[in-house]
Chain A
Amino acid sequence: GESVGLHLPTLSVQEGDNSIINCAYSNSASDYFIWYKQESGKGPQFIIDIRSNMDKRQGQRVTVLLNKTVKHLSLQIAATQPGDSAVYFCAENEGDSWGKLQFGAGTQVVVTP
């Protein structure tokens, strides 16, 4: 993922609009990616995942796009709701035997009425 230790960028989106959250990853050997949602004071909550042999995957109101050429991942949230306000992280499995997950820097999503 992107450099850790940086303060979170913020995406402000109006309720009902679509949100797009981006993530750049660094390891071309990474073969599995996950998007997580984290609310304040809680652990990460799984949203959607995608393997490197796919470029798109859809869930309920969410879509993940993977562009391996430029090592870019995005999460699209349709019809954003107030409950979607949280910090969103992408995480990559770098393909090692342990299955370690490394997290990107994260994006704070703020949904305004």
Chain B
Amino acid sequence: GAVVSQHPSWVICKSGTSVKIECRSLDFQATTMFWYRQFPKQSLMLMATSNEGSKATYEQGVEKDKFLINHASLTLSTLTVTSAHPEDSSFYICSARGGAANYGYTFGSGTRLTVV
């Protein structure tokens, strides 16, 4: 149990376009989802925390208008990178946390975004 599906696994887009990444909890309801960004050979940096039905909480330094997060249901959160630029190229990873005590943090498989 406790599977998180992240889609797409990789995407290439042109500068100035927007890209949407989906994160789904397949077998549990995720009251809270987290979005991380990871540059090559670096750690995961928390970008934002999203709760179902409410606005996301962004970490300091993360532009909320650039990284739009929507957590419309208990099983789906989306991250949209708007007006993407090459410096947004990174590995984006979501994590979901369910309400049951035995569900800790479950991570998606990540999305490799390349902006050209």
Contacts and interface: CB of A to CB of B under 8 A. Distances in A.
Interface of A: 1, 4-8, 34, 36, 41-46, 49, 89, 98-106, 108
B34 to A, nearest CB: 7
Contacts of B51: 98
Interface residues of B, number: 24
Interface of B: 6, 32, 34, 36, 41-46, 49, 51, 57, 91, 93, 95, 97, 104-105, 107-110, 112
A interface, over-half SS: loop
> Main secondary structure on chain B at its contact with chain A?
strand
A72 to B, nearest CB: 17
7 contacts: A4-B42, A4-B43, A34-B105, A46-B105, A101-B46, A101-B105, A106-B42
